[in-house]
Amino acid sequence: MRFLGIDYGTKRIGLALSDEEANFSFPHDVWANDKSFFQKITDFIKEKSVGAIVIGESLDFKQQNNPIMEDISALKERIEKEMKLPVHLEPEFFTSAEARRLQGKHEKTDASAAAIILQSYLDKKKGA
């Protein structure tokens, strides 16, 4: 089963995909967070035969929700309701900074951050 990883931001949304065996995550693309996003993600999920989604859970140093968590929770609920897919939250902490550290800053940094989020989830799922 293929997983989709999402690094959700107010301006940009990073996407990553796993391989079919759900062992590895790969940065895919960065899309604008605009009114067309949900339709684009719906089409993409169908095209890539995604079976589950992992969204970065944005917490602060005190493990409290950051302000963006309201939007993330709304996206999670909408995907679960309209697409009937399981959506998992994976704690994300400095994933964009880690992506920049590993690869330098570039136009696909948010996709790299999504890949880090997704890989963390996959590793935990495998017990690695």
pLDDT tens digit sequence for 30-52: 999 999 999 999 999 999 999 99
- Coil, helix or strand at residue 122: helix
The domains of the chain are located at 2-126
The two structure tokens encoding residue 35: 């009114």
pLDDT at 23 over 80: yes
How many alpha carbons lie under 13 Å from residue 101 in its C-beta half-sphere?
Answer: 6
pLDDT tens digit sequence for 65-108: 778 899 999 999 999 999 999 999 998 866 665 655 566 565 67
Alpha-carbon dihedral angle through residues 36, 42, 12, 98, given to the nearest 10 degrees: 180
Domain 2-126 is of which CATH architecture? 2-Layer Sandwich (3.30)
State the residue for tokens 């999402």. Answer: 6
